[in-house]
Amino acid sequence: MPSTRSSTLAGVLVATIPLHAAIAQDSVPATPVAPAKAAQAPAADAAVARLMIGDRAPALEVSNWVRGDAFGGFEPGKVTVVEFWATWCGPCKASMPHLTDLQKQYAEKGVTIIGISDEEVGKVTSFLDADEWKQKAQYTLAADPDRSNHDHYMKAAGQRGIPTAFVVDGDGVVAWIGHPMEMDAPLAKIVAGEWDAKAYAATWARQQAMRQAWSGRMKAYFAATRAGEFDKALALVEEQLAEFPDDPQARLNKAQLLIVELDRPNEGVPLAEELVAELDSAGMLNALSWGVLESGKAKGPALVMAMNAAKKAVELSGGSDPSILDTLARAHWESGDQAKAIEIQEKAVASSPAGRVKESMEKTLAEYRAAMKTS
Q: What is the CATH number of the domain that holds 287?
A: 1.25.40.10
Tell me what pLDDT residue 32 has. Answer: 27
Residues 304, 192 within the same domain: no
Tell me what pLDDT residue 200 has. Answer: 94
Residues 21, 42 within the same domain: no
Phi and psi (nearest 5°) for 87?
-65, -25
**Residue 110 within any structural domain of the chain:** yes
**Residue 130 within any structural domain of the chain:** yes
**Residue 147 within any structural domain of the chain:** yes
Peptide bond between residue 163 and the one before it cis (omega within 30 degrees of 0): yes
Tell me what pLDDT residue 154 has. Answer: 95
Distance CA 35, CA 57 (A): 19
Residues 183, 251 within the same domain: no
Q: What is the CATH number of the domain that holds 132?
A: 3.40.30.10
What are the b/e assignments for 155-175, b being 16+ CB within 10 Å? Answer: bbbbbbbbbbbbbbbbebebb
Name which of 343, 315, 345, 339 is nearest 327 in CA terms: 345
Residues 16, 142 within the same domain: no
CB 255 within 8 A of CB 272: yes
User: Which residue, of 184, 200, 216, is where some domain finishes?
Assistant: 200
CB 285 within 8 A of CB 299: no
**Residue 45 within any structural domain of the chain:** yes
**Residue 128 within any structural domain of the chain:** yes
Other CB atoms within 10 A of residue 50 CB: 16
**Residue 255 within any structural domain of the chain:** yes
User: Which residue, of 161, 182, 200, is where some domain finishes?
Assistant: 200
pLDDT digits (tens, 9 = 90+) for 139-156: 999 999 999 999 999 999
Phi and psi (nearest 5°) for 233?
-60, -40
Tell me what pLDDT residue 1 has. Answer: 53
The parent domain of residue 268 ranges over 9-27+228-374
**Residue 146 within any structural domain of the chain:** yes
Specify the pTM: 0.71
Tell me how many domains the chain contains.
2
Distance CA 135, CA 50 (A): 36
Kindly give the parts of the chain with pLDDT less than 70: 1-49
In angstroms, the Cα distances linking 309 to 85, 247, 250, 296, 338 are 27, 18, 17, 16, 19
Q: What is the CA radius of gyration of the chain?
A: 21
